[in-house]
Amino acid sequence: MALNVGNFILNDWSNILFALIVVYIVKYYFSWYTRENPIPGPFPLPLIGNLHQLGLDMGKGALKLQKEYGDMFEIFLGPTRTIFISRAELTEKINNPTLKNNAFYFRSPPNPGLKELHLINSGITFNRDLTTWKFNRRILNLTVMSPKFLRKSVEFTNQLCDDLEKYWSSIDPNTKVNLANWTTCLSADIIVTTATGTKGCSMADYNNSLPNSVKVDISEKFLNESLKFIDSIYTLISSALFYFSFPPFIRKYFPVFKPMYHKYRDNDIWLGAELERIVCTRKQKIESASLDQPIESNALNLLIVLNTERDINKITSIDFTEPLTNIEISRNLKEIFVGGMDTTRNVMCFIMYYINKHPQVKDKLIKEYESVYGDLSKKIDITYESLGKLVYTEAVINESMRLTPVLPVFLRAASFDTEIGGYKIKKDTTVFTNYTGIHYHKDHWVEPEKFNPDRFLKDGGHTIVKNSYLPFGGGIRICPGRHWAMGNMKILSARMLTNFEINLADPEAPLKSSYQGTQHCDELDGNDDNLKNDLDEANYWYHQAVDGNKVALYRLGELYEIGKGVCKNLVRAFEFYKESANKGCLEAQYKVGYYYDHGLVVDADKEKALDWYEIAAERGSIDAQHRLACQQEVNQS
Ligand code: HEM
């Protein structure tokens, strides 16, 4: 009998498997129930842990779990214990700005996938080796945070905005402007151009793909090379998530994942070689130029000349006296692309959404641009220095990034055993800061759901609690590209609003976005029907006004008054009205009176207002007669 049972068990593989599974489950739950220092969190399932509760959208999942389990909860991503913190005070250690006693200088725990991508012991973002991280981080700070780089980046972004304006002014009036696509292309071009000094051509390609657009003449070979490179950066970003999430065995041998693995691996090899080729070619060019020849301050050039005889600010620390090797330069360049491309494009989309959703904010922005750049009917001159004056713009950008942080959650790992909120955290435990959770926390923000840029103004009556606003993270690993990104966003907002009348195709539609490692703007359609028609109308009246046509002058006054086809500008409007009034246009005469009457001109003057009203009233203007009657009543009373 005993033999039979033994035979039965040993021969029946399914029973063995069943027994193993039972043992695994018992062991799994035993270690879960007896785990040290448990933090509130959902009940996990073997193998997948709490992945089903977190869902694919990590930002939304974290918010949902925060509601159920509070500001600090733990979940299991597969077998790995992971902690989420969603309150400013709890992030104190993560945002420690010094290396001394820094318990969270690791980005992630050791991970075989990231190691295979050479991201664990080199580069910046996932680098766990303190010596090389410090070295690379210092180099990147010296490059993308240096004033000469930031100044040059303003020039590049302005030039690319000029291109965008050219493309937009030739768009077919009956097509919708896909703002998400345009900002994606513009951002890619900004990052590529500013990082390498070679102009990106995503916008040109996208423009050429649109029906009825005026095609740009661009070499097919250059276009393909450039697009392949950009595509390869996006592929690398997706591959980091893939390599991070799946263990080597599943990646390499599971039928669904195998082709993806091959694609990602080939891409990594190609990109590495391409970056080195780019570095080598530029290095040769710089070395063959004479020393007195100025070198453009794009990121690649700055990395190449660092610590060479061209570098006037040679760094004189013992550990860093030599120029960078080609590998070091290409790895830093890769960090710029990976860190900058996906973040910038999505943030720009979100900003455009919020601005266009709130017309009163748009008006205030236009006023700021008028006060900083003067006459908006002429091309505005955005300099590096002027960006500091765009205080309201900065508040609008901050508020957009508060409501939709492009990294809704992001990770760090404990670099030694430590503690948060009274709970012990073991070395290498992953801790996600739930940025969205903190940005919407009722204890930190009044009416957190409301879009209110004033809360970021000094006199806005709101005190910002330390660590309650973290769009760029914080502490020693805070985003090194934050000043560059903020500059780009300011330029883009100013250029778009002063040149175009963009309206959301469906103003009632909610923001469509999804989590893809970063928060991704899925769809953002703007209407350019009005834009093109309005531009045409403005052009038409300008054309007519050349010979002093009083009706055309009056019409131009109207367009400037309401900002149609041109930027709203009351000073310009008044100039046109006055010129038209002097030529005898009745409506314009009334308008001039009205502008003097209501203080819409600098030299507001009631006497002058009455004079113009009288002229217009005498000639039959009902509006002017009404104003005079009102004035008489006021005088009598
Ligand atoms: C609006 C645009 C951007 C946003 C919202 C953003 C946000 C962030 C955030 C939240 C982090 C994590 C910081 C932390 O752990 O505390 C980060 C890290 C990083 N960002 Fe950005 N970023 C942006 C643009 C850029 C740009 C343009 C670059 C290019 C230089 C860049 C390069 C990096 C790098 C290299 C890191 C890793 C830093 C480290 O681990 O030491 N980012 N970014």
Tell me: is residue 479 an annotated ligand-binding position: yes
pLDDT band for 209, please (50, 70, 90 cuts): confident
Going from the C-alpha of 598 to that of each of 42, 363, 594, 607, the distances in angstroms are 63, 19, 6, 12
Distance 491 CA to ligand 1 centre (A): 19
What is the chain's mean pLDDT, rounded?
88
Q: Given CA atoms 26, 28, 33, 34 in this order, what sign does their dihedral have?
A: positive
Tell me which residue of 363, 325, 430, 525 sits closest to 114, measured CA to CA. Answer: 430
Ligand 1 in reach of 123 Cβ (< 6 A) = no
Q: Is the CB of 593 under 6 A from ligand 1?
A: no
Q: Rounded CA gap, 335 and 233, in Å?
A: 10
Q: Ligand 1: does its nearest atom lie under 6 Å from the Cβ of 99?
A: no
What SS3 class is residue 219?
A: coil
Q: What spacing in Å lies between the alpha carbon of 557 and ligand 1's midpoint?
A: 46
Is the alpha carbon torsion for 207, 208, 213, 218 positive or negative? Answer: positive
Identify the residue whose C-alpha is closest to ligand 1 atom 14: 473
601 lines ligand 1 (CB under 6 A): no
Mean per-residue pLDDT, 568-585? 87
Q: CA nearest 151: which of 314, 296, 343? A: 296
**Which residue minimizes the CA distance to atom 1 of ligand 1?**
344
Contact 281, 198 (CB under 8 A): no
- Helix axis angle for 179-196 and 482-499, nearest 10°, is 130
User: 75: part of which helix (H) or strand (E)?
Assistant: strand 72-77
Q: How far is the CA of 41 from the centre of ligand 1 (A)?
A: 29
State the closest ligand 1 atom to the C-alpha of 140, by its place in the atom list counted from 1: 30
Which amino acid does the sequence have at 606?
A: K
The band of 282, judged by pLDDT with boundaries at 50, 70 and 90, is very high
Distance from first CA to last CA of the chain, Å, rounded? 118
Res. 141: pLDDT tops 50? yes
Q: Counting atoms of ligand 1 from 1, which one is nearest the CA of 347?
A: 1
Is 406 near ligand 1, meaning CB less than 6 Å away? Answer: yes
pLDDT at 96: 97
Please tell me if the CB atom of residue 107 comes closer than 6 angstroms to any atom of ligand 1. yes
**Closest C-alpha residue for ligand 1 atom 18:** 479
Question: What CA–CA distance (Å, rounded) separates 400 from 356?
Answer: 12
Tell whether the model's pLDDT for residue 476 goes beyond 90: yes
**Atom nearest to 127 CA in ligand 1:** 40
Q: Which of 356-370, 407-421, 567-581 has the lowest mean pLDDT?
A: 567-581
| 445 within ligand 1 shell (Cβ under 6 A) | no
- Atom nearest to 411 CA in ligand 1: 15
The model's pLDDT over 582-633, given as tens digits with 9 standing for 90+, comes to 998 888 999 999 999 888 877 778 889 999 999 999 988 888 898 898 888 8
Residue (of 144, 147, 140, 110) closest to 128 by Cα position: 110
Any atom of ligand 1 within 6 Å of the Cβ of 347? yes
Mutation pick for ligand 1 pocket among 332, 472, 521 (CB with most ligand atoms within 8 Å)? 472
Does 352 sit in the ligand 1 pocket, CB within 6 Å?
A: no
Name 332's Cβ contacts closer than 8 Å, sequence gap at least 6: 123, 124, 136, 139, 140, 143, 303, 324
- What pLDDT sits at residue 535? 62
Residue nearest to atom 27 of ligand 1 (CA): 340
Instruction: Collapse the DSSP code of 161 into the 3-class scheme (helix H, G, I; strand E, B; otherwise coil) and give the result.
Output: helix
- ipTM of this predicted complex? 0.99
* pTM, 2 dp: 0.80
Question: CA nearest 163: which of 135, 203, 114?
Answer: 203
Q: Which two tokens stand for residue 361?
A: 């904010």
Give CA–CA dist 38/423, Å, rounded.
Answer: 8
pLDDT in the model for residue 293: 87
Residue-wise over 539-576: b if at least 16 C-beta within 10 A, else e?
Answer: eebeeebeeebbebbbbbbbbbbebbbbbbbbbbbbbb
Query: Would you tell me how many other CB atoms lie within 10 Å of the CB of residue 79?
Result: 12
446, 455 contact by CB (below 8 A): yes
CB 487 within 8 A of CB 347: no
Atom of ligand 1 nearest to the CA of 126: 40
Ligand 1 pocket check for 337: Cβ under 6 Å: no
Beta-sheet pairing, 418-420 with 72-77: unpaired
CA-to-CA distance for 180 and 318, rounded, in angstroms?
47
- Residues in CB range of 24: below 8 A, 6 or more apart: 46
Within a 10 A sphere around the Cβ of 258, how many other Cβ atoms? 13
Note the pLDDT of residue 532: 47
Nearest residue to 143 (alpha-carbon basis) of 325, 332, 271, 285: 332
Instruction: Identify residue 493 by its one-letter amino acid code.
Output: S
Dihedral pair phi/psi, residue 45, rounded to 5°: -110, 150
Q: Given this model, what pLDDT does residue 175 score?
A: 62
| CA 51 to ligand 1 centroid distance, Å | 26
Q: Which residues contact 636 (CB under 8 A, 6 or more apart)?
A: none
Q: How many CA atoms lie within 13 A of 115 on its CB side?
A: 7
- Residue 77: the pLDDT is 87
309 pLDDT higher than 90 = no
Per-residue pLDDT tens over the stretch 492-531: 999 989 887 777 777 778 888 888 889 988 877 665 444 4
- Token readout for 521 is 């703007």
Nearest CA residue ID for atom 21, ligand 1: 479
Q: What is the mean pLDDT of residues 394-423?
A: 97
Residue 11 has pLDDT above 70, yes or no: no
Separation between Cα atoms, residue 568 and residue 311, nearest integer Å: 46
- Report residue 394's pLDDT band, with 50, 70 and 90 as the boundaries: very high
pLDDT at residue 22 in the model: 92
The predicted pLDDT at position 162 comes to 92
- Compute φ and ψ for 394, nearest 5 degrees: -60, -40
Of 359, 397, 356, 404, the residue nearest 504 (C-alpha): 356
